[in-house]
Amino acid sequence: MPSLQNRTRPRSESQKTMTADLHFFVPGSPAPQGSKKHIGGGRMIESSAALKPWRNTISTVAHQALKDAGGQLETGAARLNLIFVMPRPKATPKSRTPPAVKRPDLDKLTRAVFDGITDILIADDSQITKLGASKVIADIGETPGVHITLRIEPTP
């Protein structure tokens, strides 16, 4: 459920500025934004077929979270915290959940989120000045996806 806490009084009703954390969860199987693959004729495509639908899901959920919070596209410095919940492999023991040390790489997962929130929550991913990211294997019955927390830093 998206939430926006401690919103400052907006300058006008059409210019609400996010000054607190925006939290939301994007369900689905996180897909990495990896390398591009050459397909001939100087054309390149993403090597992961799952990437485009995953980025679209991130964008859709981010747009709805921002709308629900009454915010707008931001251009200031941003802190981003991501917790990727990876699908639980069938061979994982039920008695414990091991660390998520297998592919995909965490940095490639974060790139997909950056592109999914750009032009929706933030104008450009270069605005991200602080980043926290982790990946875990889903507990039994837990939904895979990514927990996203965005904070726009107040301008001095």
CB atoms within 10 A of CB 49: 9
State the pTM of this model.
0.81
Taking the CA atoms of 156, 20, 54 and 100 in sequence, report the sign of the dihedral they define. positive
**pLDDT tens digits, 118-133:** 999 999 999 999 999 9
23: nearest Cα among 135, 146, 111: 146
Would you call the peptide bond into 104 cis, given omega within 30 degrees of 0 as the criterion?
A: yes
Beta bridge partners of 151: 79
Are 115 and 52 spatial neighbours (Cβ–Cβ below 8 Å)? no
150: nearest Cα among 41, 92, 123: 123
Taking the CA atoms of 60, 69, 15 and 5 in sequence, report the sign of the dihedral they define. negative
% pLDDT > 90, the chain: 61
Q: Return d(Cα 25, Cα 38) in angstroms, integer.
A: 33
What confidence score (pLDDT) does residue 35 get? 66
CB atoms within 10 A of CB 122: 23
pLDDT: which is higher, 67 or 153: 67
Structural domains in the chain plus CATH codes? 21-152 (3.30.1330.70)
Lowest mean pLDDT among 9-13, 21-25, 97-101, 103-107: 9-13
Region of 119 on the Ramachandran plot (φ > 0 left; ψ -120 to 50 alpha; else beta): left
Burial class (CB in 10 A: 0-12, 13-18, 19+), 15: exposed
**pLDDT tens digits, 36-65:** 666 677 776 656 788 999 999 999 999 999
At 60, which helix (H) or strand (E)?
helix 51-69
